Chain A
Amino acid sequence: MQTAQVIPDTTAYLLLGLGVTALVMMAIIGRIWLRWMDLRNDEAVLHDLDV
């Protein structure tokens, strides 16, 4: 009665979506991490100037 439905192959889009998500997440985390490193450096420099 019911012929087997062909499931469309949209896997490429899934991977694209997951990739974009990963990209944005890494951007968020990356910004936090880079800023942290910069500020830690600044803090160390200022500490040396102080001492």
Chain B
Amino acid sequence: MSVSAQASSHLIDPGAEVNSRPRALIVLTIVTLILTAVGVVLWIAYAGVDVMQGNVQRIFYIHVSSFAGAFVALGGGVVGGFLYLWKRAPKWDHFALSCIEVGFGLSLINLFTGMVWARPIWNTWWTWDPRLTSAAIQTLTYAAYFMLRTGIENPDTRRRLASVYGILAFSTVVITFIIIRIRPDTIHPAVIGASPQNAEGGFELSSSMLATLSYTMIVWSVFVPMVLVWWRIRVENLNERVNALRAQILEK
């Protein structure tokens, strides 16, 4: 039993109900939906078309932005892990788990949109290029994080070990970000600064493209992760309440 005799008395009170009408969150969600829709319009109608690559180039707005979003979300996982190890309040682990789930999803989007772009431009769905390999490793690392969580029954142990691994796993995100500077033999084009020598499929950014990219990045690295993580945390809170209720009933 992970719960001491003293703490079990707290189980009698399953805590506050999870709010059914979270006003702020609903407003934020609607705002984010609108911003995302505007973004799609920008991608399709406003940003210019690339003459070399055609319409597939437009995917790069979501491809780059989803990585930025993943970076932010997975970074949140580090913060949550660190805070849990420090404060030991379960809410920090809920925060970390939610962040990492969202970040994992955004990493997947990053990988898939990259593959869809690569097919017409590089004539292959995949290649073992340093940046692609790092991105794949990043995604697999967080898959391992979920496997770790599933493999531990004791909730305190699970939160503790997951926090440590969540912190370690972020190194793969950092590597993906900086590898383009360390391994100049990558064929992946760079957006900020000069592309590596071997880069294939780089393109000049017109001002409308730059504006669209900046806009999309802000929406997908601030608004979208925040909204998703917030909703996800609510599910964890409700889960806690249900478990507490269940325990309370079993005690009777």
Partner-B contacts on A (CB < 8 A):
5, 7-11, 13-14, 16-18, 20-21, 24-25, 27-29, 32, 35-36, 39-40, 42-43, 46-47, 49-50
Contact = CB atoms under 8 A, between A and B. Distances in A.
13 contacts: A5-B52, A8-B53, A9-B55, A13-B55, A13-B119, A18-B59, A21-B112, A24-B105, A29-B228, A39-B238, A40-B238, A46-B249, A50-B245
B91 interface: no
Q: Is the interface of B mostly helix, strand, loop or mixed?
A: helix
Contact of B116 (A7, A17, A28, A36): A17
B248 interface: yes
B56 interface: yes
Interface residues of B, number: 38
Contact of A14 (B52, B56, B228, B238): B56
Contact of B242 (A8, A28, A39): A39
A16 B248 CA distance: 49
B235 interface: yes
Contacts of B59: 13-14, 17-18
Interface of B: 40, 49, 51-59, 62-63, 66, 101-102, 105, 108-109, 112-113, 116-117, 119-120, 228, 231-232, 234-235, 238-239, 241-242, 245-246, 248-249
A9 B54 contact: yes
Contacts of A40: 238
Q: Which 8 pairs between the two chains have the least Cβ-Cβ distance?
A: A10-B56, A10-B54, A17-B116, A17-B59, A13-B56, A8-B54, A11-B55, A46-B245
